[in-house]
Structure 1
Amino acid sequence: MPMHIPTPTRIEAAGTQPKLIDEYVGRVNSGTDGVSIAHMRSPSGWAEPGQVPEFDEYTIVLRGMVRVEHLDGTLDVHAGQGVLTRKGEWIRYSTPGEEGAEYIAVCLPAFSPETVHRDPEA
């Protein structure tokens, strides 16, 4: 039977400024551990600690730009573009542009604080 998801659950975000995370599918909102799907809105200047997650993350940018730092450099992913980051590789997300960013993030398996493995806060 299909599961209706009438509203997302607001999740607390890591990072330098408040970022809105609305989880539609995932461990918190739907009890799903195989995948998580969230609508993200981050302000200009937001950045989170680096991480080495145990999940692949697919990101589609709807508005603004998401910067993805990795061991070999930096990718700027603009509205209308996407990026795939693979489990086990170091990455750091930020939104340095004036308008911040709005994007959809899909994690396989689902995001979890125990499997994101963030860098220690400085």
Structure 2
Amino acid sequence: MAKKNYTLQKNPFVVPTDDGKYIGEHFGKASDGNSELSIAHMIAPPNWSEPFQTPEFDEYTFIFSGQKQFIIEDEKIILKAGESIRINAGTRVQYSNPFDEPCTYISVCKPAFDFNKVNREAL
């Protein structure tokens, strides 16, 4: 039998959260052990936010629906459906959805997302 040249992911690893955010990691450390890259489907509920963080990985975000707010260093940016952003490793950022509708997006991290390398600040 020939080796397959692809990996089909139908059951992402759902990261447990306590803030109502959905994180379904399709590829990455938690789902398939890949430390080079992670790809996750995310849904940030209305009025959701995280503390500031300074990740040790680049993070790319593409918005499918809704809006997402980024505070990068001291600049506020709001991404809307169809827009994307790359935030370089070592950049202080806060992610939030202060709006009244959910925000659905894809997040790609390189190297892969790692809770030990996200460097979240205390609230």
Q: TM-score, normalised by structure 1?
A: 0.93
Superposition misfits of 4+ residues, deviation over 2 angstroms: 1-4
1:28-67 CA-to-partner distances (Å, cap 9, x unmatched) read 1111000000000011100001100000000000000010
The structure 1 residue matched to 2:106, chosen from 85, 104, 114, is 104
1:1-28 CA-to-partner distances (Å, cap 9, x unmatched) read 42222211100247xx310000000001
1:11 matched to 2:30: no
Q: Pick the structure with greater CA Rg.
A: 2
Matches of 2:81 and 2:115, distance apart in 1: 27
Q: Name the % identity.
A: 34
The structure 1 residue matched to 2:52, chosen from 47, 50, 53, is 50
Matches of 1:34 and 1:8, distance apart in 2: 17
Q: Report the counterpart of residue 119 of structure 1 in structure 2.
A: 121
Which shifted more, 5-14 or 23-32?
5-14
Matched residue type, 2:103: A
1:78-107 CA-to-partner distances (Å, cap 9, x unmatched) read 011011111001000001111120000000
Paired residues for 1:1-122 under 5 Å: 1-13=5-17, 17-121=19-123
Query: SS state of the match for residue 114, structure 1?
Result: helix
Query: Tell me, which stretches of 5 or more residues in structure 1 are unaligned?
Result: none
Number of residue-to-residue matches in the alignment: 119
Q: Give the aligned CA root-mean-square deviation in angstroms.
A: 1.2
Q: TM-score, normalised by structure 2?
A: 0.92
Matched residue type, 2:7: M
Matches of 2:95 and 2:10, distance apart in 1: 29
Matches of 2:39 and 2:118, distance apart in 1: 15
Per the TM alignment, residue 120 of structure 1 is displaced from its structure 2 partner at its CA by: 1.4
